[in-house]
Structures are given as C-alpha cells and as structure tokens.
Amino acid sequence: MISVLKPRSAVPADFLVAAREELGRVLPHFRVARHRRRTFKFTAYRHRALKEALEKIFNGKCAYCEWRYAGGSYFEVEHYRPKNHYYWLAAQWSNLLPSCKRCNNGKLSKFPLADPSRQARRKGQERYEKPLLLDPSNPRTRPQDHLIFDSSDGSVKPVVDRRGRVSPIGETSISVYRLARPGLALDRKEWALRVRDKINLCRAARSKRAREEAYQGLKSLVEPHQPFRALTLQVLRESGLVQRSDRNSASLQG
C-alpha cells in the first residue's frame, strides 16, 4: 500500500451530479426510523465516470494491495467507511477507493475503531472517530509509517516503534485487507527479486552506456503503474540507491 492523493479537482462532474441527487434521497430515507429497516439501493458509486477516474488516479491498481487488476481482472469501488452504516458517505469522493475483489472480500463491512463507542451515528460525527484501517488517500496516515515488508519472503508486518509497540493501525489493516495472504506474499517476493536483480545490474555496470541502461531499467520499476511500488521503494531505500522519495516519486543515486 502506498499513499495516493485524490484531488478534489479530479471528481467527475457527471458523478458529482449523481452523488448529490442520491444524497438527497438517502438522508430523508434514513432519517425516518422505520425506513432504516428497508434496504436502500445505492447506485451512484457505480457511476462509470467515477470508475474511470479512480482507475486513472490509482494507475490500474488496487488501493490496498497494489496488485495490477488491469491485466485481466477487474476492480470494485470500495467504501472505506461501509455504506450500510455510513449511508451519508455512500457516494462521497473521499470515501471511495478502487479495490481488487480479494481485498474487498476481506474488508466487507468491517471498520474497526480505536474506541467503538465513538462510532458515528449521523453525518459529521465521523470526524471524531479514530479508525484502525489505513486509507491510502488520506495524507494524515501514511502507509509506510504503519507497514513494513520483508523482501526475502514477500511478507508484510506492522511497524514496531522504538519502544517495541506494534502499530495497531498496521496490524489491523493487514488482517482486514488480507495483505498477508500467501499468493500475494509470493507475488511480492518475486517482484522484490526482480528489483534486486536490477540493482545488481546497476552496481555491476562498468561502462557509461551499460550503467545508463541498467539505471533506466531500474527506474522503470518505480513508475506509478508498476505493482507493489511501496515495496519497491523500500528495497531501494535499503539498498542505499534512493536519494529522495515521497508518495509519488523517487530519485536514484547513480
């Protein structure tokens, strides 16, 4: 998982119209107690323009595991805060993310909080919650502060601070999103091997031309559309080849 900003300017106008119209029906529906027992059919979050915008922003990857679904699968529009409880956020731009089916099936309607008694019951109260799940589009909670990878086997673990405290956000996110599932770990391991092979080619290059070709090959693995970019940046940091990195860029020393 890696930070990906979702600028407000990227919200599709057609989706925004549909979202506002739906919200106008949602709030009265849930305001009446007897209606809460009746299922409301949310549809705005499935808007085609929204899907296209999310796919573009996240470069055809799952927001949680960074797996490239565009190669032969599909993604689902996932609600960070579940729509069945947070009905007022069912078509809120900031609450919607692209997710592969496996991550979405793991999460379902789960939304653990540090203090469950503070769970929002109506619009606006969510600002007082302290979620235990990472939202890669929230700049206040960076995934790299809570998750760390073992490139030797592709596993992911919660970050442990200097006092030996395990990140509860990292631990919960790994469990709920199923980020430690075996197949995913194997894919990450194979990708890390590929990155290290490129690093070794860079270090072994002797001529200027060979060195440039090696570095271009390595840089191609850091591009936003590539899978497991958070893992790639970590391997590069560990190798000492990263000069600077942030959410969306990395500069290699060479």
**Domain spans in the chain, listed from the N-terminal domain onward:** 8-128, 184-254
Query: What pLDDT, on the 0 to 100 scale, is given for residue 104?
Result: 87
Q: Which of 30-39, 51-60, 144-153 comes out lowest in average pLDDT?
A: 30-39
Q: Measuring CA to CA, how many Å separate 94 from each of 5, 21, 69, 139, 219? A: 10, 17, 22, 12, 31
Query: What pLDDT, on the 0 to 100 scale, is given for residue 71?
Result: 55
- Rounded (5°) CA angle 113-54-143: 40
Mean pLDDT of 188-213: 90
Query: What pLDDT, on the 0 to 100 scale, is given for residue 248?
Result: 44
Query: What pLDDT, on the 0 to 100 scale, is given for residue 210?
Result: 85
Q: Measuring CA to CA, how many Å separate 133 from each of 10, 46, 67, 82, 233? A: 24, 23, 18, 12, 22
φ, ψ of residue 101 in degrees (nearest 5): -65, -35
| pLDDT band with cut points at 50, 70 and 90 for residue 9 | very high
CB atoms within 10 A of CB 1: 27
Query: What pLDDT, on the 0 to 100 scale, is given for residue 243?
Result: 55
Specify the pTM.
0.85
| pLDDT band with cut points at 50, 70 and 90 for residue 148 | very high
Which two three-digit tokens encode residue 134? 């990472």
Mean pLDDT of 52-60: 93
Q: Which residue has the higher pLDDT, 45 or 101?
A: 45
Q: 147 pairs with which residues across the strands?
A: 158
Please tell me the distance from the alpha carbon of residue 27 to that of residue 38, in angstroms, as a whole number: 14
pLDDT in tens, 207-233: 888 888 888 888 999 899 999 999 999
Query: What pLDDT, on the 0 to 100 scale, is given for residue 252?
Result: 54
Mean pLDDT of 41-66: 93
pLDDT of residue 239 exceeding 90? no
Q: Which residue has the higher pLDDT, 43 or 32?
A: 43
